[in-house]
Structure 1
Amino acid sequence: MQRLTKSSSDKALFGVCGGIAEFFGISSFIVRLIFFFTSPASFWVYVILSLALKNKPSL
């Protein structure tokens, strides 16, 4: 079962958008655009996710 985690390779700040993109199999650019155009509400969602999500285990 796939879990939502922060990305360890595709990150600008904390890896939240990259992790969401990897989970859904879409481009991280699209996820970042969605977060950008839905701000300021998405700011709080990003902060909560950055604190709640675990880092992706390194191989």
Structure 2
Amino acid sequence: FLIVLGLLILALGLLWPLLGRIGLGRLPGDIVIERGRMTFYFPLMSCLIASLLLSLVFWLLNR
């Protein structure tokens, strides 16, 4: 289990630049508040999609 988890984290780390290009992190539903020099960013929709994808992967692995 830990080896599979490590491989998933490695794959995510290698694909991180590609994920930025396809718009993950700038989806409708992601909250960005800019006030002066402060920026608050809360990736709500990105987190929901990532959670759904990870749930699907783990469900398929347990099947």
TM over 0.5: no
Which structure has the larger Rg over C-alpha atoms? 2
Higher strand share: 2
Shorter-chain TM-score tier: 0.3 to 0.5
Q: Which TM-score applies when normalising by structure 2?
A: 0.37
Higher helix share: 2
Pick 1 or 2: higher relative contact order, CA cutoff 8 A, min separation 6. Answer: 1
